[in-house]
Chains A and B, each alone.
Chain A
Amino acid sequence: MKNKKYFVSGDDAVAIGTRLARPQVISAYPITPQTIVVERLSEMVEDGSLKAEFMHVESEHSAMSAAMGVSSVGARAFTATSSQGLLYMAEGLHYASGGRYPIVMMNANRSVALPWSIFGDLRDSLSQLDSGWIQVYVEDAQEALDMMIQAYKIAEHKKVLTPFMVNLDGFVLTHTYEEVSVPEQSEVDEFLPTFTTPNKMDEEEPKNMGFSTTPADNMEFKYQQHKAMMDSLDIIQEVDKEYGDRFGRYYNGLIDTYMCDDAEIVLVTVGSVTGTARIVVDKMRKEGKKVGLLKLRYMRPFPEKEVNEVLKDKAVIGVLDKDISFGFEGTIFTNVNSSLSRLNKKPASYNFVAGMGGRDISKQNIEEMYNNLLDAKNGKEIERVKFINMGVKIDG
């Protein structure tokens, strides 16, 4: 590729990808560790490299509310948030998906108070799985940059018209530096044309939007929302392929796999920890252990078919969750299990809860998970939901 390369942080990469997607209005509110994204975008607006209106809103609730206003007249909207900010705009998340506004938002995954923590886990975005947004989780800065561009293409697709959340692990991705390849603006413009939609207010065809329904109509609207999200499963794969054909980087659509074909046990991961897990797989493979890795890229729509195809013949699988749904298990685990329940013979499945509130997940931790799964495969009884790398023993 002759594209220019830059050494930038994950947040910078998001800002660069966003600039290339040419949003017309950015509604911005600061929150760690997202803030650098809107700082960079404000600089791009100032220096003229991004032609957009920059709105200094007074809260995340208004950031989403303004983005909906922008989208309701057919302009391309961008915003970014994290953690408490995502929760503060939760009303708007449901509202935006119900209104079918294809807003794109970057979310820096961060723990949710209390206790306060600015560090990373997935409890913010996973708590909003049911808000009707497409949710993708990226592994590195390059994927972040590329997904900002893909996100608009998918969200604005006529069959989809659904808002899109690009999730990056707080600090681990937002604040670490990597080399990224930056596509040419002209090529991105060809890939992602100007936003057009019939779902807008304008003078030629006035509309009343955001209306109320009675029980006679409400379910039909919700069904259409669901259908659009289900339809997006194909669109996501098409767009990823087209992106790869044009820019040379493919992300394998909904999921990615590593050494899964002949694996006896597979660990399912989301986001940046996948990189660490690959190294562990390499080490264990050298030791002759048949382990594999499944990277879930999308949590909504959930790639049931793809996940089941990879895991159907495995004896034992594990799911790594940087999250816990108090009183049950990790949310990703619940989703994977639900998917696997459609198989005639479901693999035995185990949950590893790790990395909450920014705690490191080391190679040793991941090796421990694999070894636990191997134990289970060899008939040993192991915990169904295991907290990894706990500093203190809580239950006596």
Chain B
Amino acid sequence: MDNSIKRINAKNITDKEYFYGHKACAGCGGSLAVRLALKVLGDRTYSVLPAGCMSAVGFIYPQMAFTRNAIISTFPGSASMASGVSVGNKALGKKDTHTVVFAGDGGTADIGLQALSGAIDRDDKLIYICYDNEAYMNTGIQKSGLTPFGTKTTTTPAGKNIHGSTTQKKNMFEIVAAHDIKYAATASVGYYQDFINKVNKAKQVDGTSYIHVFASCPTGWGSATETAISIAKDAVDCGLIYLAEYENGEFKLNRNPKEFKPVKDYLFQQARFKHLTDEDIDVIIAARDKKWKRMRDKWQ
């Protein structure tokens, strides 16, 4: 990857708005990810969004929130429609355009996984950004393949017998990397400069790239709207979310803290985890530690 690319930061990022006047909830991490990514990608960008929060809040006729080209795809078809947009523009002889997908965790890890795999296999020139708020928020907080263990959702109730979701998050980052994709990264809206840098890197890739950005959701998580940034930072600092990259066939951890902040402090800010017992939290910590051991052993 070219290290000479111009760094974009809070001082020099454009004042232009590309996602404006939408109807997202207060404190929405997903809409922040879309806003920042489009500022990095610029005018000649085509956005493709499947069914999900960002399409639901951005395209309510006649009030269109994307100031440049954007289109809603079918729920399973965001990657393949983006491929079509990218290849169509190529066939028309257009150069220097960007095609970007903004899809939620369900639209990516569940229903959209097949089309995403196909796009990476073809290496079509597009950036796929998954904003992961850990459940189907647009339909009312149902469990997705990226809902973490112990989460209370409207389809994984927290009762006496079952304490919310019984499965761990699918490992989307490594699933994507296993395609030997040119560039993939994880990010968090809590570390937005890191996210901006990664979008800027993906922008330079001549082929498919993937960014998995952890995005806070006060409505679905039962957290305070003003914690949108801090809670997404806490998730990284307690080690449940990690910042990493995959390029040139190698994994790299971008943050490798000596000590994690307490998991409980992150979890208990949110109504979705309020029911967790000490035993449940032990399961969460054990999974975290196993994951980190493997990453530290193999990725350094």
Contacts and interface: CB of A to CB of B under 8 A. Distances in A.
B184 to A, nearest CB: 19
Interface stretch (A209-217, A230-238, A364-372): A209-217
A73 B85 contact: yes
B250 to A, nearest CB: 27
A212 B59 contact: yes
Interface string B105-148: 00000000011011001101000000000000000000000000
Interface string A63-98: 111111111111101000000000000011001000
Residue from A58, A59, A95, A208 having most chain B Cβ neighbours under 10 A:
A208
19 contacts: A52-B91, A55-B84, A56-B122, A57-B118, A59-B114, A61-B115, A65-B76, A65-B84, A72-B81, A74-B92, A75-B92, A202-B69, A207-B69, A208-B58, A208-B66, A209-B71, A210-B71, A212-B59, A217-B61
Contacts of A211: 59-61, 64, 72
A212 B65 CA distance: 12
A206 B47 CA distance: 11
B84 A210 contact: no
B64 A61 contact: no
B68 A206 contact: yes
What's the interface size class on B, roughly?
A: 35 or more
A290 B62 CA distance: 59
Contact of A61 (B80, B83, B85, B97): B80
A125 interface: no
Contacts of A56: 118, 121-122
A15 to B, nearest CB: 19
A53 interface: yes
A59 B118 contact: yes
A167 interface: no
Given A70-B88, A208-B64, A62 B71 contact: no
A25 interface: yes
Contacts of B85: 69-70, 72-73, 201
Given A61-B77, A62-B115, A72 B84 contact: yes
Contacts of B59: 208, 210-212
Contact of A212 (B56, B86, B115): B56
B43 interface: yes
B70 interface: yes
A31 to B, nearest CB: 16
Contacts of A201: 46, 69-71, 85
B227 interface: no
A65 B77 contact: yes
Contact of B77 (A70, A74, A92): A92
Given A61-B74, A68-B84, A25 B91 contact: yes
B264 interface: no
B254 interface: no
A92 B81 CA distance: 11
A27 interface: yes
A69 B81 contact: yes
A59 B111 CA distance: 13
A61 B74 CA distance: 9
B256 interface: no
Nearest to A75: B88
A22 to B, nearest CB: 11
A336 B71 CA distance: 39
A47 interface: no
B9 interface: no
Contacts of B14: none
Contact of A66 (B43, B64, B83, B117): B83
B87 interface: yes
- Chain A interface, >50% SS class: mixed
A24 interface: yes
Nearest to B96: A203
Interface in A179-211: 201-203, 206-211
Interface string B32-71: 0000000000011010100000011011111011111111
Given A73-B92, A211-B60, A214-B61, 17 more contacts: A25-B87, A27-B80, A58-B80, A58-B115, A65-B74, A65-B81, A69-B73, A72-B81, A73-B46, A73-B85, A77-B84, A91-B74, A201-B46, A209-B72, A212-B59, A217-B61, A217-B62
Given A57-B80, A212-B60, A72 B74 contact: no
B82 interface: yes
Closest 6 interchain pairs by CB? A69-B84, A65-B77, A58-B118, A62-B80, A66-B84, A208-B64
B69 A27 contact: no
Given A210-B59, A212-B56, A212-B60, A65 B88 contact: no
A214 B60 contact: yes
B293 interface: no
B92 A69 contact: no
Contacts of A64: 77
Given A25-B84, A214-B60, A62 B77 contact: yes
A61 B68 CA distance: 27
B175 to A, nearest CB: 15
